[in-house]
Amino acid sequence: MDERVRAGDADRACALADEGLRQAVSVMNAGGLLHFDAHFENVLTDGRRFYLTDFGQAVSSRFDLSEEERAFYRRHLTFDRTYTLTYMLNWLAGAFHGADWQGRRALVRGWAAGERPVGVPGGVAALLSRHSPLGAVLNDFYHELQSQSRKTPYPLEEIRQVAGRHSLPLE
């Protein structure tokens, strides 16, 4: 992704990444597997398809799970899709604006509130505008999880509400 963005092909690279990650996550999740760590360093591509690697944090519906673990699994069915979207938003905020974590969080929150992304190609701006409402929810969750309590619950209801309000697919 770095190379394509630096080469001026950001719109195409982002569209490919958005669709490729969506498809990879969809296929994996449909098979009952949740990855929980699907960031760019755990993705391989041949230029057409995306392949997820490093399944060290994965959980499967086929595992011998306790009732508590099954409930956790069900509650986190949207995690991989929202994580990949949010990771890409934050990566783009850093790549185009040099923003640190707090700056990225502020940029995503602003885009979610309707601010037009500036300093990025048109296709990237459209992607940022489209996905930032979910990204803002996830960034707030990560911030609270890291700075307040490791017991912060995954905001599934808020994710569903935001996705529904903005017609964003979670699968």
Residue 128: count of CB within 10 angstroms of its CB: 24
Domains, the chain = 2-165 (1.10.510)
| Overall pTM surpassing 0.85 (yes/no) | yes
* Model confidence pLDDT, tens digit, residues 2-46: 777 777 788 998 999 999 999 999 999 999 999 999 998 999 998
In angstroms, what CA-CA distances link 3 with 38, 58, 123?
20, 29, 17
Query: Which H or E element spans position 43?
Result: strand 43-45
